[in-house]
Structure 1
Amino acid sequence: MMKITTALLFILLNNDCSTIPAAIGAKEETVYVCGSGNGKRYHLKEHCRGLNNCSAKAVKTTIEKAKKEGKTLCGWEK
């Protein structure tokens, strides 16, 4: 418990809230993909800068479905 609390405190102090689910062992289920159907990446945040070139609206999906479609994690989110 102390390890998790320390990790969360460190993350919050460094203002990087995007890593909180990973720090507590939760699996991030929801991801976003370009709605045009041509995208090759999935994104953890709806407003990821990697979606700037998407001409369609970002679509919410699951990470499992995105991976089954052959999509990989956006380079901006690594």
Structure 2
Amino acid sequence: MPMYEYGCLDCARQFERLLPMNAADQHIVCPFCQSTRVQRRLSLFATHSRGEASAPAVAATMSDSGCSCSSCGCGSRS
């Protein structure tokens, strides 16, 4: 089940809910002020890899003009 972030439009506090994907936009109540005027927020996340393509290895392939590969989608054509 994914974690969703919400912001209350009345008290301006943010909170999270662990919900099934089909319930993400259903009736959500602010746990602080009990308002139903809440808005789902953009969730940001980070990943960490211990495989061969770790951050130092990926950073070593980058040049000043961008990525040196053509398959990552950055638009660089080195």
Question: TM class by shorter-chain length?
Answer: under 0.3
Name the one with the larger helix percent. Answer: 1
Question: Larger RCO: Structure 1 or Structure 2 (Cα < 8 Å, ≥ 6 residues apart)?
Answer: 1
TM-score (norm 2): 0.27
- Select the structure of larger CA radius of gyration: 2
Task: Return the structure number with greater strand share.
Answer: 2
